[in-house]
């Protein structure tokens, strides 16, 4: 039961990390979605929670348990990073092509994808795992 509660404790940690990321990096975007900026950033952060929890569930299925969040292995971290990068790149490519947003000239890019959004899911997922490990 403790592992399940630790898993759910990740939710506010992931939310806080992604709210900080979204708000601090929002000036790198031109939002064309028509959604007001603050609600849009909160919506994006809640979506980030779902995506990261989905990544963690995939790793749990690979490990056949949820205990891995207590002591992630290098392979677990690698899977989290790779899935985070793949999902981020996919989200960016789709939304850029649909015209939901574009980047300001300040956004550094690689292959046309913003570096900030590319690393966000992987970085905030890893940070949340490191924080939860410190909480007893």
- Stretch 74-97: mean pLDDT: 97
Cα separation, 136 vs 133, whole angstroms: 7
What pLDDT shows up at residue 1? 52
Tokens at residue 4, please? Answer: 């399940």
Q: Which regions of 7-130 does DSSP assign to beta strands (E)?
A: 29-31, 101-103, 109-110, 113-114
Stretch 107-112: mean pLDDT: 96
pLDDT tens-digit map of 2-58: 667 788 899 999 999 999 999 999 999 998 888 899 999 999 999 999 999 999 999
pTM: 0.93
Sign of CA dihedral 85, 123, 133, 49: negative
């Amino acid at each position: 039961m403790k592992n399940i509660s630790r898993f759910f404790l990740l939710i506010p940690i992931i939310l806080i990390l992604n709210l900080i990321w979204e708000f601090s990096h929002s000036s790198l975007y031109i939002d064309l979605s028509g959604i007001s900026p603050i609600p849009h950033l909160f919506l994006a952060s809640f979506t980030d929670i779902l995506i990261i929890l989905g990544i963690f569930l995939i790793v749990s299925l690979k490990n056949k348990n949820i205990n891995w969040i207590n002591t992630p292995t290098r392979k677990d971290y690698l899977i989290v990073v790779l899935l985070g990068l793949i999902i981020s790149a996919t989200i960016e490519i789709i939304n850029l092509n649909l015209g939901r947003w574009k980047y300001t000239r300040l956004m550094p890019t690689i292959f046309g994808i913003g570096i900030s959004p590319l690393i966000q899911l992987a970085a905030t997922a890893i940070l949340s795992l490191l924080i939860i490990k410190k909480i007893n």
